[in-house]
Structure 1
């Protein structure tokens, strides 16, 4: 059945990978370090080095703050390839969230969608870093859930359950919430497990969280390439009312 967005009052979004384009900056930074020391790796290899370290660090409990995840990912990358750890460079990595840009379609799409829906941001990030990104999105979110808030990283259900509770206080039940994300592993699969509808924003050319090994059991109610397409899909359905 075609997804009817008129059945929802709130949209929750994954942020990094869906709204904020983080992969190119991460690749560029890892490439910069590798290039200084004559280490030759492809863009995919550089990204996978980050993802391998990130995944292990996000399983640590109590949960690390995201700057610590970035800081330690850099250190592990250096150690893996016999490169010296530069403390100043390490701190640039730790605070790099402020350098990550929005996708070019994000701001317009979010402005369109916020006219109709309450907006939630669900992110594996810390409370300080999310402020940089929220300003770049050009919106004021109604609900923000971070890893720091819930002391866990998606796909842990705590992010979603916290959002459900916050929206319920606004009179919006779980079944009236639509989740939107690029990561099959961290967004679509937990949405499936929790019984809520979801949209997969594929973002062609981006892969974190959506490689074949991440996709087992993932089933989105709607698959689109960009946020612009989601905004247009919403507008088209509104026109039918």
Structure 2
């Protein structure tokens, strides 16, 4: 029986920043002195971000993102200020739209919900307020001092709802941070497959949906 939900936020409740990241990567690739594709820049940025943010020591997203971007820019010989480039990213992505089906699903939901996000607390709060959303609890990496898939994130969310691991579903769009992280914490994982990609062999996906409305049959 499902008695509560843990929800990833960006890419699950609201749209993710895929298009903005792609635009920054394209600009870096175009200005680089070393031949490189935008896709390679984006992948390198995500790898560097994980290294910088997850530490030790733990770093906030707002600090880790421009620093990791700067490392990639230096590696490929791209001039410019990574802080300014990331600021433009944040200005564009600061208030992302809701994903399809989000408001319809949340409006009819009668279960307690804890948002579990790697975003910085103030940024997440601004988006929640902008869309007029309300949740039982919100847990961010800034609160815990760790990023998903760290088990401390999932334990804090369970404690916030007062529920056990086998009483909830965790819903998110990342196979590494959401699905694998939930599985390691003993929580059933629902993968939000936004792009219709096949799940890798062995991925611990309990259920697969394209948006939150797909949860309706799973929780009743």
TM-score by length of 2: 0.84
Q: Structure 1 stretches of 5 or more lacking a match?
A: 1-6
Give the alignment's Cα RMSD to 1 decimal: 2.7
Aligned counterparts, 1:70-219, within 5 A:
70-86=65-81, 87-93=83-89, 97-112=93-108, 115-135=109-129, 138-168=132-162, 172-204=163-195, 212=200, 217-219=202-204
Q: Deviations over 1:15-57 (max 9, x none)?
A: 2232232212211222234335587755533431221221211
Q: Which moved more, 1:154-163 or 1:192-201?
A: 192-201
CA pair 193-137 structure 1, distance change in 2 beyond 3 A: farther
CA pair 225-44 structure 1, distance change in 2 beyond 3 A: farther
* 1:154 positional shift: 0.8
* 1:205 positional shift: 5.9
* 1:58 positional shift: 2.5
- Secondary structure at 2:208's aligned position in 1? strand
Aligned counterparts, 1:223-234, within 5 A:
223-231=208-216, 233-234=217-218
Matched residues in 1 for 2:123 and 2:92: separation? 9
CA pair 180-46 structure 1, distance change in 2 beyond 3 A: same
CA pair 193-132 structure 1, distance change in 2 beyond 3 A: same
Matched residues in 2 for 1:225 and 1:143: separation? 24
CA pair 88-68 structure 1, distance change in 2 beyond 3 A: same
CA pair 110-137 structure 1, distance change in 2 beyond 3 A: farther
Q: Deviations over 1:92-145 (max 9, x none)?
A: 346665154432333333333xx3111111111211111133235542121111
Give the structure 2 partner of residue 18 of structure 1.
Answer: 12
- Secondary structure at 1:51's aligned position in 2? helix
Give the structure 2 partner of residue 31 of structure 1.
Answer: 26
Matched residues in 2 for 1:81 and 1:99: separation? 30
Matched residues in 2 for 1:174 and 1:42: separation? 42
Q: Structure 2 stretches of 5 or more lacking a match?
A: none
CA pair 167-134 structure 1, distance change in 2 beyond 3 A: same
Q: Deviations over 1:141-194 (max 9, x none)?
A: 2111111101011110011111111111xxx34322211111121111222222
Matched residues in 1 for 2:144 and 2:75: separation? 31
TM-score by length of 1: 0.78
